[in-house]
Amino acid sequence: MSTSRLLAALAVAALGAAGCRGGTAAPSADEARAFLREANDTILQLSHEASQAGWVQNTYITVDTEAIAARANAAFMTAVTRFAKDASRFDNVDLPADERRQLTLLKNALTMAAPADPTEAEELAQLVASMEGIYGRGKYCEDGESGDACLDIEEITEILAKDRDPARLRDVWEGWHTIAPPMKQSYARFVELSNKGARELGFADTGAMWRSKYDMPPEAFSAELDRLWGQLRPLYLSLHAYVRAKLRARYGDQVPAEGPIPAHLLGNIWAQDWSNLFDFVGPAGGARTVSLTDVLRARSVSPTDMTRYGERFFTSLGFEPLPATFWERSLFVKPRDREVVCHASAWNIDNVDDLRFKMCIDQTAEDFTTIHHELGHNFYARAYAGRPPIFRDSANDGFHEAIGDTIALSVTPEYLVKVGLIDRAPDASGDIGLLLRTALERLAFLPFGLVVDAWRWQVFSGQVTPDGYNRAWWELRERYQGVRPASPRGEELFDPGAKYHIPANTPYARYFLSAVLQFQFHRALSQTAGCTTLLHRCSIHGSADAGTRLRATLEMGASQPWPDALEALTGQRQLDASAMVDYYAPLKAWLDEQNTGAKLGW
């Protein structure tokens, strides 16, 4: 989870504080400062309580701990919602820049604004709960089956990942999408009510409200995403053409030679991650590589010791070691006596220095890298802990994940040699396979990372109406991803609702931003560290200069517009996807060789 409780609240937007939005008398600067003091103090206190309750709920799962955590979260989110809505009272008050920014961040805090009418606010809350419930209970029941015989999302995910029978893949793909039509009418009403709440706060619609939090006009943010995609699209087209040819070789005419790829054949429900195809699209006769998993197991490196490697990565950059309480209070292995949430997460319980880490660690290369990623969140949270609570967050919602992923990109063979886990780095002959494997996950995701919010922004603006939901969804998916549905999809269906973030109202552009930022960060820090190898072989481990630049950026938190934080880390004020292009340059050259004579695009 994010180390910022404020950010956590934004993802689910409390709906219960839709009352008075302030009186008619013009407020003063002193009133604005008093409001900010109250907001900062309350956010700090309630986030601490919610984090404590959330930690216990995650590490001691019972009905009671879930109820305690729910109450603490409700109190926190209701307060944040009230502050977010009341902040607009001070729009015309003359204030110093740092106080004005705190008010702006509060005002942009919501992902969903309830209308002032209490009846409509309650209806909106019920709609969201109902849609999330429909998704959460979603199963595909084949041939009249019911109960345990039906397939849930985990089972369908497993089938799409491993089965190679196209008829079976199409069946379960279509089956999962049957969960969504019952929520279509609710979603249309949700759009009406959430837009009404957004307009009451001065935004054109809910989509404009989301885009307003990026320190630029909403329309400029949309254009910025398209500009970044323009930088990445040639690389994506090369990967798409290569994978399409491999799928056609396997499935014949079910895959067109030059058109969009059938979505059900890409190894993932939403065709957003193609890494499950590596077993038959990977390069033939690839060079053998050292297995870090085998090394960790052979040396009996414990979960705690694996985490110590991650801590030493940061101390090698000049960061202070983790506090003793981190090692006393964190959860590193799955307990034998109780149920816990094993999903890896980093916590700052008091938003100061009660840093913790929760993960059921296995001795695998994947978990070794994940540890470095999660500790990135911990060190980020501690770096900005000296700021006012409203500023204790990342520069924008893409930064926190990007920092963790940036550190993970430095877990290279060269780094493993430096810390003594392997004797020597494998030669470059195996790099294409390694790059392709990560591209099937990271690069293949990017267009889908644009589609989800591009569709919603059109819906919220009224450009797309309920009678065209499905058509617009698939038009965008073909335009950006180059995929098509397994079968004709009419408007009686609601395929967007088969993606969790749609019924849950969770913004998605942050994931695209994070994917771009991590490579831009990695390239800049690698240059600062003096790395002269190919970018995918660079590690910033041991570089005091890179650590100084990184720490200065992390300490800013959300106190400055994100271009200022970006400039502090990279020297650039503009997002730049060319770093990802540089990282995958060797793969691009290899893909183009494989695609000789083939058409790129669809």
Task: Tell me which residues are annotated as active site.
Answer: 343-344, 373-374, 377, 401, 501, 511
User: What is the DSSP-derived secondary structure letter of residue 87?
Assistant: G
301, 304, 309, 312 alpha-carbon torsion, rounded to 10°: -150
Cα(532)–Cα(525) distance, integer angstroms: 12
Largest CA distance in the chain: 75
Cα 94–Cα 197–Cα 13 angle in degrees, nearest 5? 90
- Name the residue among 427, 408, 420 with its Cα closest to residue 365: 408
- Contact between 347 and 326 under an 8 Å Cβ cutoff? The reply is no
Q: What is the DSSP string of 138-184?
A: --B-GGG--GGGSB-HHHHHHHHHH---HHHHHHHHHHHHTTSGGGH
Cα(41)–Cα(36) distance, integer angstroms: 8
- Contact between 361 and 332 under an 8 Å Cβ cutoff? The reply is yes
- Name the residue among 271, 246, 244, 247 with its Cα closest to residue 259: 244
Q: Provide the residue type at 269 as one letter.
A: I
Residue found by looking up tokens 């690389």 in the block: 235
Tokens for 458, please give them.
């059109």
- Contact between 396 and 214 under an 8 Å Cβ cutoff? The reply is yes
- Count of H-run helices and E-run strands, the chain: 24, 4
Computed over its alpha carbons, how large is the radius of gyration of the chain? Answer: 24
